[in-house]
Amino acid sequence: MPTQSIDPKTGTKLADPIIDSAASEVEEVVTRSAAAFIDWSEVAAKERASVLEQIATALDSNVDELAKLADQETALGVARLVGEVARTTFQLRLFASELKKGELLKEDLDEKIEGAPPQGRPQLRRSWVALGPVAVFGASNFPFAFGELGGDTASALAAGCTVVVKEHPAHPQLAQRVIELSQNAIVAAGFSKDILLSVRGFESGSTLVKHPLISACGFTGSQVAGKALFNLAVARENPIPFYGELGSINPVFVTENAAKNRGSEIASGFVGSFTLGAGQFCTKPSLILVPAASDFEAEALKAIDPLSFSTLLTPEIQAKFLKDVALVNSKTGVKTLLAPKPKADGFGVSIGLMSVSVEDFLANLHEISHECFGPVALVINYQNEAQLTRVAAQLDGALVTTFQAEVTQDQELLKQLVKIAKHRAGRLVLNGWPTGVAVTRAQHHGGPYPASTNVLHTSVGSYSMMRYLRPISYQDFPNELI
């Protein structure tokens, strides 16, 4: 079945369809990747760093072309996409820097001590080994930073793994161009292009995950698709790690003092955050808990232009968004403050806002907190702050939990909320907004399921490289044999 490139703004076809990969092509590609892994995994860290830097240079040198092509297929805006290319090359150079410093891959050495255990011991050297060929599933909403050459691919290459990317059908022309530029840079650096390969098509994804030569998977996308692929990964005869970042509802807790002192500012910030990128961020704040006695709903509506439309990435995303909003709105106690509407042409939708009392929310929590991927959010009105901790204790795992509070006045309440929320989120934000994920060593972009499939690891930042390595101990080995 072919993959068709479509302009989300108009719904028109952009180019000839691209034929999906047959099972035989997937087999050939994975076999080539496994063969290339033998040499790539033995390349010195500083040489791998040089390759990552050359790929980054190739993207930077073609940024205008790439941003224009991406905008044609995603409607995310050229200015934003130019910035996203910069984020992508920053990620590549960050991993290159880590490889040069060598701190993350540092060995542990225990010298030999004569005598019987436990005082005596052999010489032990703990090092790192790359897992093998990695299958990467990039995202549609960040075609560069989380796409074919996003953090999953960059971190796997840095770890010494080869990568087979499953190209995203939402931007097929861009996917092929990014892979082409990267392969050219790899070859120019003196290595085989088989270090980074790709396949296309829905069936190719499941074939990749089940292939016995694939050693791990990196995934950024929906909970439904991520869980299905995760189940395939763990059901294999030899199960493999599946690092899925699946998104979440990312709750926001607003204290009474914060609502009183900064209500209008918080409402404006919230609208800006949940509508950013047409609400197609995995870190979008979908729920916000506010005092029922506040004017928050009115302030939020003031910050929304009901006549503005945002363009969603695909017709499937648009249809699911409208269906999911209708599902949440059908639950007892949920009120429509502003109903999102589809645009006549393309995949556009207007902004939506719903509200519910905390009692009705808790009575049907899991269905009302259903993720709606797009520009809509739910306001939950509480009567007293004791209800905040009650809600916090019942929410599912999240990528981010945000607190809008007056630190001095709300210190005890904050302590209670943090005590609960740190077990349910990968990142906690105080008096800021969750959209926007810094690429750095201290970042953690993950969280308890369903936010991610592996709570121990991050998909963003320096430590994401460690997902694709395993420790190994050498006992009484001389240096020349390691």
**Active site residue ranges:** 245, 282
CA distances from 146 to 7, 153, 222 (A): 20, 9, 13
Angle at CA 303, nearest 5°, toward 300 and 307?
115
Q: Name the H helices within 256-313.
A: 256-274, 296-302
CA distances from 426 to 23, 306, 457 (A): 37, 33, 10
Element holding 57 (H helix, E strand): helix 45-61
CA distances from 450 to 36, 224, 250 (A): 34, 10, 11
Residue at 29: amino acid letter? V
- Asked if 218 and 126 touch (Cβ cutoff 8 Å), the reply is no
Residue at 209: amino acid letter? V
SS3 at position 345 = coil
Q: Is the peptide bond before 450 cis (omega within 30 degrees of 0)?
A: yes
Regarding beta strands 309-311 and 335-338, do their DSSP bridges make them parallel or antiparallel, or are they unpaired? unpaired
| Distance between CA atoms of residues 15 and 378, nearest Å | 39
Angle of helix 45-61 versus helix 63-74 axis, rounded to 10: 70
Regarding beta strands 376-382 and 287-291, do their DSSP bridges make them parallel or antiparallel, or are they unpaired? parallel
Structure tokens at 379: 């306001």
Element holding 379 (H helix, E strand): strand 376-382
- Asked if 426 and 456 touch (Cβ cutoff 8 Å), the reply is no
Terminal-to-terminal C-alpha distance of the chain: 47
- Asked if 147 and 178 touch (Cβ cutoff 8 Å), the reply is yes
Helix, strand, coil percentages in the chain from 3-state DSSP, rounded to 5: 45, 20, 40
